Amino acid sequence: MTTAPPTSQPILGKPLIHFGRRVLERTAPGTPPTTYRSVEITPMTPHIGAELTGVDLSRPIGEELAAELRQALLEWKVIFFRDQHGLDTAAHHALAAVWGTPEPNPFFPKGDAVGVSRLAKDATAVGQENIWHSDHSFMAAPALGSVLRAVEVPPSGGDTMWADMGAAYDNLSEELKQRVEGLTAVHDWVPTWGSFMTEEQIAALRGSLPPVEHPVVVRHPRTGRRTLYVNEPFTTRIAGLPEHESRELLHMLGLQARIPEFQVRFRWQPDSIAIWDNIATQHYAVSDYYPSRRVMERIAIAGVPLS
């Protein structure tokens, strides 16, 4: 599928977004098709997001099922399950362990169990706008993924959206692909999480959480697919570029996650579960349900340095 010439409004002489037909590949070219025996796959879009049925995640997960869950996540980038009523904290941990070791977010409130973050918003906490992001990109080894369980959901609103950043890379112009080839970007938590802290609190965390650099385009650690890896809240600048050029380029790249053709949107129900590939996607929790209550429990999965 070819991409039409860019017709969007330019910034500093460069197009922001290319209009026209888009390349929407579910997997990297040459990836063999997968046959699933333990689960049923219902795609939510042709290339990102699928609902899996026919499995009770509260029961022990054997290796055959684990292998299919891992493969489904690589293929679809985010997978969903409904009506997982028996998934307690131990089963939540066991499910996350299919992919790796739990990793706490240093800024999230901690739940009763190690690695579980309990995220609650209610009438006493006014909802705030979210922004497209990739979890823990400010760490040297960003989280590989997350397992999120809905405990309590509002009567309407509170959806979560994911964007396929492999598709975002595929649809960059050839000129822009050449421009970002080999570049690295600085990721830092201070402009976001630090805005809620005192200078003393920031200084206390700086030793363990210094700014880090990742390639602007990474090779996914498990599929090898080229993936755009910058996000609006945590990527602060492109290393080695003048400030104005870095700002322009980050703005242009950050907009790519906002393209609906790259996205999937999930409506939560109690005991629904979403598992996402944090390197292949960015996500956005829609904060449109105030003053209703929304309670989620999340376990992140430790990752590896990116290249």
Give catalytic residues, as residue numbers. 133, 135, 283, 298
Rounded Cα distance between 295 and 244, Å, is 41
Q: Maximum CA pair distance of the chain?
A: 56
* DSSP conformation class of 89: H
Distant-in-sequence, close-in-space partners of 62: CB < 8 Å, separation ≥ 6? none
Q: Which residues pair with 219 in a beta bridge?
A: 226
As to burial, measured by CB atoms within 10 angstroms (0-12 exposed, 13-18 middle, 19+ buried), residue 145 is buried
Which of 12, 14, 68 lies closest to 39, judged by CA?
Answer: 68
Q: Which helix (H) or strand (E) holds 117?
A: strand 116-121
Distant-in-sequence, close-in-space partners of 223: CB < 8 Å, separation ≥ 6? 27, 28, 31, 74, 280
Distant-in-sequence, close-in-space partners of 46: CB < 8 Å, separation ≥ 6? 24, 26
For residue 291, whether the previous peptide bond is cis, meaning omega lies within 30 degrees of 0, is yes
CB 147 within 8 A of CB 80: no
Chain centre to alpha carbon of residue 293:
23
